Amino acid sequence: MNFDIPHMLASGLIIFAIIAIIDHASAFENVSKGRKTVFKFAGIFVAIIILNLIWPYGTGT
């Protein structure tokens, strides 16, 4: 099994950034916790799909 460390780091940074943006954005200030969770899931899902389309896992650096 081969681990693609740069791809893992990029994925982690994307997940961290999406969570931080949604938690601290004023647009989501009066939104319920459940709704924020849906937005986080959707944001992470779309961002990871785009990352994997641009840079497929396992292609190396």
| Residue 29 forms part of a structural domain | yes
- Measured CA to CA, the distance from residue 48 to residue 10 in angstroms comes to 9
Percent helix, strand, coil in the chain, to 5, is 75, 0, 25
Residues 18-45: tens digit of each pLDDT: 999 999 998 888 989 999 999 999 999 9
Residues 38-52: tens digit of each pLDDT: 999 999 999 999 999
Domain count, the chain: 1
pTM recorded for the entire structure = 0.83
Residue 9, pLDDT score: 94
Q: Output 17 or 58, whichever has higher pLDDT.
A: 17
**Token pair for residue 59?**
């292609």
| CA distances to 1, 18, 30, 57 from 15, in Å | 24, 5, 22, 16
| Residue 60 forms part of a structural domain | no
Q: Give counts: helices (H), strands (E), the chain.
A: 2, 0
| Residue 59 forms part of a structural domain | no
